[in-house]
Amino acid sequence: MKPILIVFSLLCFSHFLIAQDVVAIAEKKVQLNQYLSQAQQLSAQGNHSQAAEVGEKAVAIASELYDFSYLATALNVYGKALNGMGGKQKIKAIANLEKSLQLARGKRMIELQKENLEVLSIIARERGKDRDLKEYTDQLMALNGVAMPLPPKAPTVILDNKSILKDENAKLYEQVAVLSSELSNSHQNKSQSQESINRERQKLVDIISTQQEAIKYMNEKQAKDALLLMQQKKMVDSLSFLKAFDSIQLATNKMALSQKDAELKLKHSERNLLLALAGVIFIIAAGLYNRFLNFKRNNAVLEEKNRIIQEERQRSENLLLNILPSSIAEELKTLGHANTRRYDSVSVLFADFKNFTSIAEKLTPEELVSELDLCFRGFDKIMGKYGMEKIKTIGDAYMCAGGLPDPYQSNPTKVIQAAFEMQNFLEVLKEQRMREGRPFFEARIGIHTGPIIAGVVGEKKFAYDIWGDTVNVAARMESNSDAGKVNISSSTYELVKDSFKCEYRGKISVKNKGEVEMYWVEN
């Protein structure tokens, strides 16, 4: 029975160790999520040194867990905190961000790849690393448009009946010892009975030998009397022998019965011990299964909470990206503010609808807003296609720009291509409205290229806007354009004349600008 008890003890101990490891891993994941959240909050508050310390702890825990998804996120948070510290820490930040980028590629974490590339692009631009900036920008453009996206301790199983089991085992062993002793005594009694029979036989043999010697010296009558007496005595002795033999046989049968009874008691004890052992194993198995269910249930709750947190975070980031360019939004999240920048060459596009006031009078307020929403949604898709940045809408006017916040993102040629696609979109919509007998919009578009200043204004509702004489000239290009056409300034013409056929309009008087050279661009 000892080997069975040893195996059972080892089995219980191994299950206990496995359960402890599972609980430890779950606790580390909870602590890791707390570190990541704390580091992000500290970075948002501008406390980058403490954020870096917390981020380094998160990286250490993720490395212990061998969870590369968590490690990629932790390296990203740590790298951004180091970047916020500035100075020599930027080199260390680049190393951590590139490690995060490699792990995110392996795990196909698209959004995390974009986030790493955007921060690396900002660092490369600040350090004047044009080659690195182009490499990061190309990778970021390749990812654009790709959409992918611990439990509290379980109750420890306590074997309250452990002492009871020990007592039962001790009683069983005592019963086995008593039965073994009785069996040994029965064997000893049998041996003693056999020796007694042998001694009786030997006595009879000795008596017969003595009598045979005496017969030689007796006369015939004495011999006959002696023989008769001897026969009678022999008969008596035979009866005594048979009686003794029967007693021995009875004792042997009793011993056999006692031995069988002892064997039955021993088997009964073994059966009880096995039943008790099976009961203990069943209790342990039930406890472990219950603990597994609790762990699985708690883990599912934790995963659901993490999923909700991730969805809310993604929703917040998407809302922020609908208001600000991605690089500006990342800078705002990292530094807490966005720096104002000057751009030497930006193509500003203005568009508004011809006879908007008279058309608006023919539509109900709901129909008017619905038509404007349809048109501006179409324009937004075109801006995304050509890598342009939508600035704002004012009434029926639509303003966008190419070449910011990333100068490599969109050139004047793409801006003109976007303008023609806007006119084609309105032309298709015009034909549909004419068939339906409903009013339609026609747009005037003007483009001018020059220097501007861009930045974020506002405290509660952020707004990304641009300023400068270039914006005013672009507005004048639009006001002097015709419905369905694209009017550009001379500065834009010099940049696109080899790509488009343009018609010179001459110098046209512009309010507050005097005479300005303008060109029609032919589609």
More confidently predicted of 346 and 181: 346
> Using an 8 Å Cβ cutoff, are 44 and 332 in contact?
no
Are 364 and 506 found together in one domain? yes
Are 349 and 476 found together in one domain? yes
Q: Does any domain span residue 437?
A: yes
Cβ neighbour number for residue 488 with a 10 Å cutoff: 33
- Measure CA 110 to chain center: 15
d(CA 511, CA 480): 10
Nearest to 43 by CA among 12, 4, 82: 82
Are 344 and 381 found together in one domain? yes
- Please write the tens of the pLDDT for every residue from 371-396: 999 999 999 999 999 999 999 999 89
Please state, rounded to an integer, the average pLDDT across all residues of the chain. Answer: 80
- Please write the tens of the pLDDT for every residue from 106-129: 888 899 999 899 999 899 898 888
Residue 373 CA: distances (Å) to CA of 366, 368, 391, 518: 11, 9, 16, 31
Domain count, the chain: 3
In this structure, which amino acid lies at residue 469?
D
Please give the pLDDT value at position 378.
Answer: 95
Q: Does any domain span residue 6?
A: no
d(CA 146, CA 143): 6
Cβ neighbour number for residue 215 with a 10 Å cutoff: 13
pLDDT band at residue 248 under the 50/70/90 scheme: confident
pLDDT band at residue 146 under the 50/70/90 scheme: very low
Are 356 and 224 found together in one domain? no
Q: Which of 105, 124, 150 is the last residue of a domain?
A: 150
Residue 247 has pLDDT above 50, yes or no: yes
Q: Does any domain span residue 301?
A: no
Domain with 183, as residue range(s), is 162-286
CATH of the domain at 81: 1.25.40.10
Nearest to 55 by CA among 79, 31, 72: 79
Q: Does any domain span residue 9?
A: no
- Please write the tens of the pLDDT for every residue from 290-302: 888 888 888 888 8
Beta bridge partners of 509: 515
* pLDDT over 70, % of the chain: 72
Peptide linkage before 407 cis (omega within 30 of 0): no
Please give the pLDDT value at position 193.
Answer: 60
Nearest to 405 by CA among 328, 352, 347, 344: 328
The tokens for 353 are 């609808």
Residue 232 has pLDDT above 50, yes or no: yes
The residue-averaged pLDDT of 243-271 equals 79
Residue 152 has pLDDT above 50, yes or no: no
Q: Does any domain span residue 387?
A: yes
> Using an 8 Å Cβ cutoff, are 470 and 499 in contact?
no
Q: Does any domain span residue 300?
A: no
pLDDT band at residue 172 under the 50/70/90 scheme: low
Please give the pLDDT value at position 302.
Answer: 84
Q: Does any domain span residue 10?
A: no
In this structure, which amino acid lies at residue 332?
L
Q: Does any domain span residue 334?
A: no
Are 111 and 245 found together in one domain? no
Cβ-based burial of 410 (10 A; exposed 0-12, middle 13-18, buried ≥19)? buried
Are 400 and 470 found together in one domain? yes
Are 227 and 120 found together in one domain? no
Are 348 and 426 found together in one domain? yes
Are 388 and 434 found together in one domain? yes
Lowest mean pLDDT among 66-75, 80-89, 163-172, 319-328: 163-172
Please give the pLDDT value at position 162.
Answer: 47
- Please write the tens of the pLDDT for every residue from 445-497: 999 999 999 888 776 667 788 999 999 999 999 999 999 999 999 999 999 99
* pLDDT over 90, % of the chain: 28
Are 142 and 176 found together in one domain? no
Residue 285 CA: distances (Å) to CA of 12, 171, 280, 305, 308: 9, 26, 9, 30, 34
Q: At what angle do helices 412-436 and 365-385 cross, to 10 degrees?
A: 150
Residue 436 has pLDDT above 60, yes or no: yes
Are 143 and 195 found together in one domain? no
What is the bridge-based pairing of β-strands 443-457 and 463-467? antiparallel
d(CA 184, CA 309): 76
Residue 239 has pLDDT above 80, yes or no: no
- Please write the tens of the pLDDT for every residue from 173-212: 455 455 545 545 555 555 566 677 677 667 766 766 665 5
> Using an 8 Å Cβ cutoff, are 375 and 351 in contact?
no
Residue 154 has pLDDT above 60, yes or no: no
Phi-psi label, residue 395: left if phi above 0, alpha if psi -120 to 50, beta otherwise: left
The residue-averaged pLDDT of 412-423 equals 95
Please give the pLDDT value at position 213.
Answer: 62
The tokens for 2 are 């000892």
Are 418 and 360 found together in one domain? yes
Q: Which of 83, 117, 150 is the last residue of a domain?
A: 150
User: Which stretch of DSSP H or E encloses residue 350?
Assistant: strand 341-353
Please give the pLDDT value at position 211.
Answer: 59
Residue 353 has pLDDT above 90, yes or no: yes
Q: Which of 259, 286, 313 is the last residue of a domain?
A: 286
